[in-house]
């Protein structure tokens, strides 16, 4: 088994944003709408056949940076990714704010 992390440019299936390669890590979500696709069981393995849209539902501050929690539109599974350095900051704030409102 290999866990090759792919760092490729890709066009977002949700918003159409062209995401260039990240350079330091595999980009696993769109930098603009922050959506991801449910393609992996383990990061980078592309073994999941769900292929639903993972939508960001919450953010969390961790030691390695901001973590984004996703929920799959299709199967409802939750996943976590680490926010990239060029993620849309306003969008991250929106998610954080929406999540705070849900808790109160
Ligand atoms: Zn997008
Ligand atoms: Zn799914």
Query: pLDDT tens digits, residue range 61-73?
Result: 888 789 999 999 9
Give distance in angstroms: CA of 19 to centre of ligand 1.
Answer: 8
pTM (two decimals): 0.84
Residue 29: give the domain boundaries: 10-103
How many domains does the structure of the chain reveal? 1
Residue 4 domain-assigned (yes or no): no
**What is the Cα–Cα distance from 31 to 28, expressed in whole angstroms?**
9
State which residues of the chain have pLDDT below 70.
1-6, 103-104
Give distance in angstroms: CA of 103 to centre of ligand 1.
Answer: 26
- Kindly identify the ligand whose nearest atom is closest to the C-alpha of 36: 1
Residue 14 domain-assigned (yes or no): yes
What Å distances lie between residue 35 and 1, 29, 104, CA to CA?
A: 27, 6, 25
């Amino acid at each position: 088994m290999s866990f090759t992390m792919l760092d490729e440019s890709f066009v977002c299936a949700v918003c159409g944003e062209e995401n260039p390669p990240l350079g330091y890590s595999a980009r696993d979500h769109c930098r603009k709408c922050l959506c991801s696709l449910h393609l992996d069981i383990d990061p980078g393995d592309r073994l999941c056949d769900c292929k639903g849209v993972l939508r960001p539902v919450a953010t969390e501050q961790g030691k390695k940076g901001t973590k984004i929690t996703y929920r799959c539109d299709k199967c409802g599974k939750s996943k976590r990714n680490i926010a990239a350095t060029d993620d849309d900051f306003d969008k991250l704030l929106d998610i954080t704010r929406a999540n705070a409102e849900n808790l109160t």
